[in-house]
């Protein structure tokens, strides 16, 4: 392990972390790449050296964050550093794609919720109340911005009403949003690590063709049970069922993406057509729902006709 490796890892991680401020639109997506330098160096130099690089890089980022007056960046530096290290270990152990995604997401979720509970308990408030205070401050900042722009008072009142609805909605589904967001970050880094590892001639796990991936068959019973519980229950049980539905339907959304990718590969669709399809899926809710529906009903229809062939 060289000092240059530590500095390069810390520099790349710092760049990705502050990309949100530099790039208003693409920044959040760029910041999700923060675990990638840790994953790369932990795989290249070995897990033990990866632990050292992760610790030293995180220490450098912590010092820079406090000097810059943004100590909250330390939390993301620790989480993303451990995520890269965790993915490196899972890659080495040759887990399947689903297992790697599941265990890495679970590890970071425990860490994230642990941090949130610690901060909430240190302020002697509940986790939900802490989230409410944070969201309320963000909404008030937006309203003040509109006031400075001399927006009419009736529009300000309307925005304030929408803000309260938004806060209550996010508070109700925040657990599922955190699970889905964490899972997406893990998936994003796993996918982008493949071309990086090939370019640097590093060993990347053989996860098999991604267009053959499917959600576990037993998951459909979870969807049925959660949907049934959501419509017949109330209170906390209803919210629990709603969050469970959001998480499981997200899994089926990626199942649907695998089906779409399968047919794009089968008919050798050009790059511009593939980009158009995925762009529409991202920006249009109808296509999001359609993709999730494809994944759900594939359990019975088997659109790709590959699993029935495998069974035979």
pLDDT at 248: 93
Tens-place pLDDT, residues 45-54: 888 888 898 8
Asked if residue 111 and residue 41 are part of one domain, the reply reads: yes
Domain holding 268, by residue range, is 209-307
Asked if residue 31 and residue 106 are part of one domain, the reply reads: yes
Q: Residue 287 domain-assigned?
A: yes
pLDDT at 23: 66
Q: Residue 165 domain-assigned?
A: no
Q: Residue 126 domain-assigned?
A: no
Residue with the larger pLDDT of the pair 153 and 44 = 44
**In the predicted model, what is the mean pLDDT of residues 83-99?**
91
Q: How far is CA 269 from CA 219, 266, 274, 276, in A?
A: 31, 8, 7, 11
For residue 211, the 8-state DSSP code is G
Count the domains in the chain: 2
Please name the residue that has the structure tokens 């290249």.
44
CATH of the domain at 91: 1.10.1760
pLDDT at 124 exceeding the cut of 70 = yes
Q: Residue 142 domain-assigned?
A: no
The answer to whether residues 43 and 88 touch, using CB atoms and an 8 Å cutoff, is yes
The answer to whether residues 35 and 87 touch, using CB atoms and an 8 Å cutoff, is yes
Query: Virtual CA dihedral for 58, 62, 64, 68, nearest 10 degrees?
Result: 150
Rounded to the nearest integer, the mean pLDDT of the chain is: 85
Can you tell me the distance from the alpha carbon of 251 to that of 54, in angstroms, rounded to the nearest whole number? 30
Asked if residue 231 and residue 179 are part of one domain, the reply reads: no
Asked if residue 264 and residue 185 are part of one domain, the reply reads: no
Q: Residue 164 domain-assigned?
A: no
The band of 117, judged by pLDDT with boundaries at 50, 70 and 90, is confident
pLDDT at 177 exceeding the cut of 60 = yes
Instruction: Retrieve residue 285's tokens.
Output: 């809710």
The band of 104, judged by pLDDT with boundaries at 50, 70 and 90, is very high
Asked if residue 39 and residue 11 are part of one domain, the reply reads: yes
Q: Residue 91 domain-assigned?
A: yes
Asked if residue 303 and residue 184 are part of one domain, the reply reads: no
pLDDT at 87 exceeding the cut of 90 = yes
**In the predicted model, what is the mean pLDDT of residues 93-122?**
86
Q: Residue 141 domain-assigned?
A: no
Q: Residue 65 domain-assigned?
A: yes
**In the predicted model, what is the mean pLDDT of residues 198-217?**
87
Asked if residue 228 and residue 108 are part of one domain, the reply reads: no
Tens-place pLDDT, residues 12-42: 888 888 776 666 666 677 888 899 999 999 9
Can you tell me the distance from the alpha carbon of 182 to that of 74, in angstroms, rounded to the nearest whole number? 17
Tens-place pLDDT, residues 245-300: 999 999 999 999 999 999 998 888 888 898 888 888 888 888 888 889 989 998 88
Asked if residue 101 and residue 236 are part of one domain, the reply reads: no
pTM: 0.84
pLDDT at 137: 79
Q: How far is CA 28 from CA 16, 76, 288, in A?
A: 9, 13, 20
Give the ranges where the chain is alpha helix by DSSP (H): 3-17, 19-22, 27-31, 35-45, 47-68, 73-92, 97-122, 127-148, 153-199, 219-232, 235-266, 271-283, 285-301, 307-311
pLDDT at 310 exceeding the cut of 80 = no
pLDDT at 112: 82
Asked if residue 50 and residue 188 are part of one domain, the reply reads: yes
pLDDT at 24: 61
């Amino acid at each position: 392990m060289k000092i240059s490796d530590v500095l390069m890892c810390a520099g790349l991680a710092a760049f990705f972390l502050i990309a949100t401020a530099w790039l208003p639109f693409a920044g959040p997506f760029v910041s999700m790449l923060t675990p990638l330098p840790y994953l790369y160096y932990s795989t290249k130099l070995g897990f033990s050296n990866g632990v050292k690089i992760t610790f030293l890089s995180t220490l450098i980022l912590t010092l820079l964050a406090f000097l810059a007056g943004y100590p909250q960046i330390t939390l993301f530096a620790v989480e993303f550093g451990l995520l890269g290290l965790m993915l490196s270990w899972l890659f080495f152990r040759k887990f399947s794609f689903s297992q790697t995604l599941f265990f890495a997401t679970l590890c970071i979720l425990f860490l994230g919720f642990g941090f949130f509970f610690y901060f909430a308990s240190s302020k002697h408030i509940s986790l939900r109340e802490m989230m409410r205070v944070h969201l309320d401050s963000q909404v008030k900042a937006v309203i003040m911005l509109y006031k400075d722009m001399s927006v009419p008072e009736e529009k300000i009142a309307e925005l304030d009403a929408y803000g309260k609805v938004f806060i209550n909605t996010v508070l109700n589904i925040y657990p599922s949003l955190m699970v889905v967001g964490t899972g997406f970050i893990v998936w994003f880094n796993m996918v982008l690590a493949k071309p990086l590892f090939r370019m640097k001639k590093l060993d990347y796990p053989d996860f098999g063709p991604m267009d053959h991936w499917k959600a576990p068959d037993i998951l459909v019973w979870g969807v049925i049970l959660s949907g049934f519980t959501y419509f017949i229950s109330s209170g906390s049980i209803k919210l629990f069922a709603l969050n469970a539905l959001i998480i499981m339907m997200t899994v089926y959304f990626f199942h649907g993406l695998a089906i779409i990718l399968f047919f794009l590969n089968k008919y050798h669709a050009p790059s511009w057509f593939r980009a158009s399809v995925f762009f529409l899926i991202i920006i249009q809710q109808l296509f999001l729902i359609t993709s999730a529906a494809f994944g759900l009903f594939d359990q019975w229809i088997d659109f790709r006709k590959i699993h029935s062939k495998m069974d035979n």
